[in-house]
A = this chain, B = another copy of it.
Amino acid sequence: MEDENQRQLHPTKSIRCIVKLGGSAITFKNEFETINKEKLETVSQQLRQAMMVSTNSCGKVLGMDWSNRPGVVGTSCVVDDFFYLPALDFTHFIVVHGGGSFAHFQASKSGVHKGGLNQPLVKAGFVATRISVMSLNQDIVRSLAREGVPSVGMAPFACGWVTCEKNIASANVSMVAKAIDSGFVPVLHGDAVLDAAQDCTVLSGDVVIRHLAEHLKPEFVVFLVSIMFFQSCFFTSRALRSITWRYVSGVFDRPPTEPNAVLLREIEVHEDGSWSVLKPKLENLQVEMTVAAHDTTGGMETKISEAAMIAKLGIDVYIVEAATSHSLRALSGELKDNIPEDWLGTVIRFQR
């Protein structure tokens, strides 16, 4: 069942890109609720660069976060500079982020993903999970705003995203579309949400991205990932597959620590859900993973299957390490027709 709002959800302005900010790309995965400020700042700067069509006459970045910051003297307030500024031209982006070292502890300790709000632990965990992820969301919104990106936080829970048996049952995508039409950059995230079958669950940022891509049809999607994170993903899933997947600047055919590991530059998704590697041409390569009904509990399977499901919509998906020259090129859309040899990352496309 789709929300009735879906009927009027299309923004009048075309969306250039939906960006997934891997929670682990912008937080320190092993340090409780700790943001990688340097990386987040670079990511925010790259997003501004990628979005801006024109530059303002004064040339400087006019920040939109006019609030106090702990440990920072004074605000980044530049209000007066705005007075005579002409309207800036931006392409339309949506940002979705994961949790990284935020929210994970709270959700897993309480079992929010398994539901059961009649249990005090689950209810408390739901509250605690939302508090943690909202802290991260606020920091990301503020970082983007400081770089002049007109970011607005839109929590899926508050937006009315509700699941049923962990699949999205309704989602107020129309409000996201309205925000875009008004010139804002909505910043969504994985969230604790209500579930019609089991009271509550955790909705992953990857599922949010796929749903938005399906309904808002961006030109392309970029997953900004981190080496550290996908190393751990790899080791989790290595026993499961005859072909090992790993993201380090993209998807590899085996652990990059092994000799002859090859970056899969271009993966093609077929109508039946199977995959093949277009570039480079490899012998003895057997892809076992297919695009199956997805599983919202997260993990690597969800991530890859969500990316492939987006590609099946005819939307190119780029997987690239965050805050590098490669991520900037992907965000800027320059890879559309041709992937240069010196670009490190993986593109997943629907069969042409």
Contact = CB atoms under 8 A, between A and B. Distances in A.
Interface of A: 3-5, 32-33, 56, 62, 64-68, 70, 79, 82-83, 85-88, 105-106, 109-110, 117-121, 123-128, 130-132, 134-135, 138, 141-142, 145, 150-155, 157-160, 162, 172, 174-175, 178-179, 182-184, 194, 199-200
Contacts of A123: 64, 150, 183-184
Given A88-B120, A120-B85, A67 B128 contact: yes
Contacts of A110: 79, 82
Nearest to A135: B67
The secondary-structure label for the interface of chain A is: mixed
Nearest to A157: B152
Contact of A184 (B88, B127, B135, B159): B127
A135 B65 CA distance: 12
Given A67-B132, A128-B145, A62 B120 contact: yes
Nearest to A141: B131
B138 A33 contact: no
Nearest to A106: B66
B159 A66 contact: no
A154 B160 CA distance: 10
A261 to B, nearest CB: 38
A121 B33 contact: no
Contacts of A87: 118-120
A216 to B, nearest CB: 16
Given A118-B87, A120-B87, A120-B88, A153 B160 contact: no
A178 B200 CA distance: 12
Contacts of A33: 67-68
